[in-house]
Amino acid sequence: MKRALITGVTGQDGSYLAEFLLEKGYEVYGLRRRTSTPNFENVEHIKNKIKWLSGDLNDLASLLEAVRLSDPDEVYNLAAQSFVAASWPQPIATAQMTALAVTNMLEAVRIIKPSARFYQASSSEMFGKVMETPQKETTPFYPRSPYGVAKVYGHWITTNYRESYNMFACSGILFNHESPRRGLEFVTRKVTDAAARIKLGLQNELRMGNLDALRDWGFAGDYVKAMWLMLQQNEPDDYVISTGEMHTVTELLEVAFGHVGLDYRDYIVIDPEFVRPAEVDLLLGDCSKAKERLGWKLEVSFKQLIEMMVDSDLEKARQQLSIAAIPQ
Ligand code: NAP
Ligand code: G4F
């Protein structure tokens, strides 16, 4: 039985990856940090199947111990401060969790189990002010946020460990991917949640930032399969994972509100609080390398994804209403 260690297992991608690997018969170890409020929401249904390890990205001792205890064949390094907007008010924490922590994790693997295959969660945010369109593995990076800068460090240190120590270390340059498990602060989930709540009378407006931004949005469940495929190849390498299609935030609003029979224009308020100091105007990925070499393919379209998220948020909002209706 193969063993995998996942950091960030309680997050969106970690939860889908854990499910996928459990279905493949892996023994899955999940690194979980001590937080003031334990977060199991995304993994509640598989909580008893994951072998839990306590650790923090910034605590090398805990990572060394996690690698020793799990003795992994594959390590998926997904944990990070992943919200771009938070990286301006918290640039140092972002550098520690999204950049330096990658070296902590690589060191833990190098010291304890150098033969383990390593996946690093790189990001299309590294392309930032894009130097060419569409973006592919060879497109130069031009990050536009402290988060993007931190991810560039994580990307290159992973390449460096591959070249310095001959480690099987890969980076997946993943474009935006979403799901009903996406955090409420990210634009897709913010919009699908608002569409559902406005429809049910739980909310009456939606405050937004730049509606012209263009993103290449895919489904997280499809993207975690690419992570696994990268670690099954004969040679380690980096791959862009994307849909090859882009949409504006306005189109996202149209699909989400349209699905519940509403016109988004009746509810939107533009609020400077959600406009970023430096914006990534456009992201569009060319994933032909992943399609050709990994045989990876997309299964969920943009419209299906957004409608799936709205349906899930409608269900959650209805549950909230039915709980509120129970006499106390
Ligand atoms: P997410 O939902 O925000 O999950 C982040 C995970 O990191 C959570 O499990 C969180 O734990 C954990 N974490 C944060 N700080 C930690 C620390 N100090 N020690 C241990 N664990 C810590 O992110 P995601 O969307 O699944 O993304 C996964 C990875 O892919 C991230 O590295 C992200 O930057 C990258 N990425 C994401 C996308 C995307 O579109 N989703 C695209 C490209 C790259 P808690 O539950 O305790 O908070
Ligand atoms: O959903 P977002 O916050 O995602 P962003 O910044 O593209 O980052 C996500 O994708 C990256 C991959 O490219 C990941 F590495 C990263 O971890 C994260 O998962 O914002 C998307 C766009 C931005 O252009 C933003 O300015 O939506 C625009 N936007 C407009 N109004 C808004 C809002 N974003 C948020 N979060 N909230 C708004 O009200």
Q: Across the chain, what does the average pLDDT equal?
A: 97
Mutation test residue for ligand 1: of 10, 12, 13, 217, the one with most atoms within 8 Å of CB: 13
Q: How many whole angstroms separate alpha carbon 158 and alpha carbon 160?
A: 5
Q: Is 119 a catalytic residue?
A: no
Does residue 288 belong to any structural domain of this protein?
no
| CATH code of 133's domain | 3.40.50.720
Please identify, by atom number, the ligand 2 atom nearest to the C-alpha of residue 207: 39
Dmax (CA) of the chain: 65
Q: Are residues 68 and 29 in the same domain?
A: yes
Q: Is 125 a catalytic residue?
A: yes
pLDDT, position 324: 80
Does residue 289 belong to any structural domain of this protein?
no
pTM listed for this prediction: 0.98
- Buried-exposed string 187-202: b where 16+ CB fall within 10 A, e elsewhere: bbbbbbbbbbbbbeee
Please identify which of the residues 16, 26, 76, 147 carries the catalytic annotation.
147
Q: Are residues 225 and 142 in the same domain?
A: yes
pLDDT digits (tens, 9 = 90+) for 198-245: 999 999 999 999 999 999 999 999 999 999 999 999 999 999 999 999
Cβ < 6 A, ligand 1 pocket = 7-8, 10-14, 33, 35, 39, 56-58, 78-82, 97, 121, 123, 174, 176-177, 183
Domain count, the chain: 2
- E strand or H helix that includes residue 252: helix 249-259
- Residue closest via CA to ligand 2's atom 9 equals 176
- How far is ligand 2, taken at its centre, from the CA of residue 187, in Å? 6
In sequence order, the 6+-apart residues with CB closer than 8 A to the CB of 201 are: none
Please identify, by atom number, the ligand 1 atom nearest to the C-alpha of residue 183: 2
Residue owning tokens 């064949």: 73
| CATH code of 313's domain | 3.90.25.10
Q: Is 107 a catalytic residue?
A: no
% the chain with pLDDT above 90: 96
Q: Would you say residue 246 has pLDDT above 80?
A: yes
DSSP three-state, residue 217: coil
pLDDT digits (tens, 9 = 90+) for 20-61: 999 999 999 999 998 888 889 999 999 999 999 999 999 999
Q: Are residues 123 and 192 in the same domain?
A: no
Q: Are residues 231 and 259 in the same domain?
A: no
Q: How many whole angstroms separate alpha carbon 72 and alpha carbon 1?
A: 11
Tell which residue, 41, 45, 38, has the closest CA to residue 22.
45
Q: Would you say the CB of residue 276 lies under 6 angstroms from ligand 2?
A: yes
Note down the domain range covering 317: 187-215+245-283+301-322
